[in-house]
Structure 1
Amino acid sequence: MITTTDMSTRMRAEAANPGAAAADVLRLAQWFSPGFPVGAFAWSHGLEAALAEGRVDRDGVESWLEGILTDGAGRADVALLAEAHGAEGAALGEVDALARAMAPSAERMAETVEQGTAFATTVSALWPDLPVEPAAYPVAVGRAAGLHGLPLELTAVMYLQAFIGNLVAVATRAVPLGQTEAQAILARLTGRCEAVAQAAIASGLEGMGTASFAADVAAMRHEALYSRVFRS
């Protein structure tokens, strides 16, 4: 379990080695690039259902995504990522089991497991000396970042930015939003990522929870949509 003291120690160590920062950012930028083959573009996290049923419109999409980031899977994923960052063996398996148990629907389970499996497979192929076991997406990312010596907070912030960036891309296509409007939303939400990551890391698994009930219900209802573009 990560404590506030552990977090402070890690942050001091990261600050003491600024020369590694550029390489770390570039490695994470590759992992979270839309071109990295995890298939993130195929998943809407329930947003497609919310839009189809009129629960979210053009004016409300930013608030909807902010709720997912700050009170939903965004914050919960960081807690799981942080726990997996230094875990291995049975402990890592327990974190993965918790991540799967947190999925509120079959599609959301598939979303995290299939992306995590694809991520682990690709990272292991590119860096075979540091193989990563297939797991739920935030668990696989946390494990890989730990093995590669990547800073926890930087990994968490960039993970969140990529996560919310994918959902903004979904909104760009499905609302639809103009590209400039969509990027303005992403810029504002990206400004929240650091605070969300820090809070989730500090609270750990004991403080992990979600309060994005409408998004969870939308993910469940997505399974019954007559016409679908996205897989969740």
Structure 2
Amino acid sequence: MTADLLSLTQWLSPAFPLGSFAYSHGLETTVVQGDVRTASELERWIKDVLQHGAGRVDAILLCQSLKGAEVADLARALAASKERLEESEAQGRAFVETVNAITGAEFAAAPLPVAVGIAARSLSLGPVEVASLYLHAFASNLVSVGVRFIPLGQTEGQQVLSALHATITDIATAASTAALDDIASAAFGADMAAMQHETQDVRIFKT
């Protein structure tokens, strides 16, 4: 355990004021439509998003940003819907404001994975570590959405998150050596749910 790892853990913890609890990444629509009703279905949905959708894309953007690439505009262009863009921008803004306040840095606002990558340049941590903790925080938030909205028990939610650990590690490892040309997304159901959420009559979550 190092001070830098503790700092990253703090930045990506549920207590860090990003407002992550207010975002479902389209999962709310999927639950309303009856496509995710159980712990196993939640695990499958999050795993698909991690492997084939925003999880993998964000991990590559984060790793590229950590290495010094300027990818904020690319991250914005890759947002699959208006709400997805707002989700990434709002959380990125909140992340930067809080990191700047506690460290004295002057990081500029950027979409969340890019903002985390830029801030993590100041830490003595490798891309696999940073991407793994980022993806874990992303998956943990979606599990929390499922626990609250399906609803599921807390233990079931933790079982889902634990089952995703190997997937998270694999994606982070691959993203650490991936190039920008390796970015691709095929989580069409999740993307469509995010788009449909924009006009959903009754909504609890922002996305």
Q: Same fold (TM over 0.5)?
A: yes
Matched, 1:54 2:30: no
Deviations 1:130-183 (A, max 9, x none): 321100000000000012333221111000000000000000001101110110
Q: Which portions of structure 1, spanning 4 or more consecutive aligned residues, are displaced by more than 6 angstroms?
A: none
Aligned-pair distance for 1:204? 2.1
Gaps of 5+ in 2: none
In structure 2, how many angstroms separate the alpha carbons of the residues matched to 1:191 and 1:125? 34
Counterpart for residue 98 of structure 1:
74
Gaps of 5+ in 1: 1-20
Matched, 1:111 2:83: no
- Which amino acid counterpart does residue 200 of structure 1 have in structure 2? A
User: 1:211 is paired with a residue of what secondary structure?
Assistant: coil
Counterpart for residue 41 of structure 1:
21
Counterpart for residue 211 of structure 1:
186
- Which amino acid counterpart does residue 76 of structure 2 have in structure 1? R
Aligned-pair distance for 1:199? 1.1
Counterpart for residue 162 of structure 1:
137
Aligned-residue RMSD, C-alpha? 1.1
User: 2:161 is paired with a residue of what secondary structure?
Assistant: helix
Q: Percent identity?
A: 44
Which has more radius of gyration?
1
Output aligned runs, 1:55-204, within 5 Å. Answer: 55-58=35-38, 59-87=40-68, 91-92=69-70, 95-128=71-104, 130-204=105-179
Q: How many equivalent pairs are there?
A: 206
TM-score by length of 2: 0.96
In structure 1, how many angstroms separate the alpha carbons of the residues matched to 2:109 and 2:124? 19
In structure 2, how many angstroms separate the alpha carbons of the residues matched to 1:24 and 1:154? 11
TM-score by length of 1: 0.86
